[in-house]
Amino acid sequence: MSRAGREYPDRPWVGVGVVVWQGERVLLIRRGRAPRLGQWGLPGGAQSAGETLFEAAVREVLEETGLEVVPHAVVTALDSISRDDAGNVQFHYTLVEVVAECGPGEPVAADDAMDARWVPADRVGDLVEWDETVRVIEMSREFRASGFQYGGFSDAGG
């Protein structure tokens, strides 16, 4: 997907973040592009036209880590807004956070990920700087524990 217009946009971009679980470990990537260059976070990226949220989630994780995942549900949505030194909106994403599961396998950083690794869920805060990411991971943990028993979102692809 082209990155044209993402910096200093005239509207928010829709992106997907993916909380990928393998047992009690969570998949983190180290970002290779702005915004949050060099920071640890969730795999994800912009949704393409004609692509469902779950399709975007599967594609982004595969592109960034080489892993295949099964998305289960939307956990939450949030805004990621970055401003430059003059206070202008440099990046604005509306992020839809999806929880997914992954079978055996180790991630290999690719695309716009500088690094990728499995991290025990209780150690995520040691690497992740953005509090929202930590909050979303905790929400997804609770959602998994409930057997995915809330919400009404369906990825029907309409």
| DSSP run (H or E) holding 90 | strand 89-102
Radius of gyration of the chain (CA): 15
Confidence band for 98, pLDDT divided at 50, 70 and 90: very high
Tens of pLDDT along 63-89? 999 999 999 999 999 998 999 999 999
In a domain, 152, yes or no: no
Give the CATH number, domain containing residue 82. Answer: 3.90.79.10
Q: Is residue 79 part of a domain?
A: yes
- Does 3 reside within a domain? no
Q: Are strands 113-120 and 89-102 parallel, antiparallel or unpaired?
A: unpaired
Q: Is residue 151 part of a domain?
A: no
What global pTM score does this model have? 0.84
Q: How far apart are CA 121 and CA 138, in angstroms?
A: 8
What is the signed CA dihedral for 132, 44, 152, 148, rounded to 10 degrees?
-80
In the chain, the number of structural domains is: 1
- Give a yes or no: residue 72 inside a domain: yes
Name the residue range of residue 80's domain: 14-145
Chain CA centroid to CA 126, Å: 18
pLDDT in tens, 9-27: 899 999 999 999 999 999 9
